[in-house]
């Protein structure tokens, strides 16, 4: 039991270090000038959704007695699809941000523009986090199942708590640092830069196979 819990904490910690778990939210927060409280709430909900989707898939596998390699295959497919969705989202966001910077509307403030489109971007990132997998969670669930249902719930709870805490913590700490950077050209191209960061993050994750 203790070994499984320690493994869950360690695996969740290193898994959540992957930049696609937090950097897109920092980029979006910077481009849209979010208050820290909003970023914390958004990343908390996204983190919960991220682990819940894999948790449900794992529980389905345990209930149905499916082979673990079948579920891992589903997680790999979800991961690839999630990365491509993140790339598409980043490209669209960067193009929109560049066009807006080149042709600003004097009667519309940057803050008003950010508010008008922020909710759509939040839901898109939220959906990508749901689609993206927690690959290590399902094997841990199958190992825990050998010790009974309480162990499965305990291990899953610890893994989920650490993952969500890492997503929120890394996002808020990074945003606190990024907000200190102030430059006129960065403010003008904030949305385009945010989209570019999201694309580069997704490509990096794909390249290193995180």
User: What pLDDT digit, counting tens, does each position of 25-47 carry?
Assistant: 888 888 778 899 999 999 999 88
**Alpha-carbon gap, residue 193 to 137, rounded angstroms:** 33
By CB atoms closer than 10 A (0-12, 13-18, 19+), residue 12 is buried
Q: Considering the entire predicted model, what is its pTM?
A: 0.68
Residue range of the domain that includes 109? 2-208
The pLDDT tens digits for 67-88 are 555 555 555 565 666 677 777 7
Structural domain count, the chain: 1
pLDDT of residue 129 exceeding 70: yes
Name every residue whose Cβ is closer than 8 Å to that of residue 142 and which is 6 or more positions away in sequence. 58, 61, 62, 68
* Cα of 162 vs its chain's centroid, Å: 14
CB atoms within 10 A of CB 161: 15
Which of 3-17, 120-134, 159-173 has the lowest average pLDDT?
A: 120-134
| Higher-pLDDT residue of 12, 183 | 12
> How confident is the model over 100-115, as pLDDT tens digits?
666 555 444 445 555 5
Helix axis angle for 36-64 and 68-102, nearest 10°, is 160
Do 22 and 171 touch, CB atoms closer than 8 A?
A: yes
Q: Copy the structure tokens of residue 10.
A: 């360690």
CA 127 from centre of chain:
9
């Amino acid at each position: 039991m203790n070994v499984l819990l320690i493994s869950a904490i360690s695996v969740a910690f290193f898994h959540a270090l992957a930049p696609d778990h937090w950097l897109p939210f920092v980029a979006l927060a910077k481009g849209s000038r979010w208050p820290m409280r909003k970023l914390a709430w958004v990343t908390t909900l996204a983190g919960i959704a991220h682990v819940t989707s894999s948790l449900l898939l794992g529980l389905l596998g345990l209930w149905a007695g499916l082979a673990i390699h079948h579920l891992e295959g589903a997680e790999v497919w979800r991961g690839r699809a999630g990365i491509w969705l993140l790339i598409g989202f980043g490209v669209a966001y960067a193009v929109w941000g560049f066009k807006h910077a080149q042709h600003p509307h004097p009667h519309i403030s940057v803050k008003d523009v950010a508010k008008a489109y922020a909710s759509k971007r939040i839901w898109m990132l939220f959906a990508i986090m749901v689609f993206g997998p927690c690959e290590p969670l399902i094997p841990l669930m199958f190992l825990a199942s050998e010790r009974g249902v309480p162990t499965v719930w305990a291990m899953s709870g610890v893994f989920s708590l650490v993952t969500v805490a890492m997503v929120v913590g890394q996002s808020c700490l990074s945003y606190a640092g990024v907000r200190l950077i102030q430059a006129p050209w960065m403010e003008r191209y904030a949305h385009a830069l945010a989209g570019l960061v999201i694309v580069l993050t997704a490509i990096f994750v794909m390249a290193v196979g995180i």
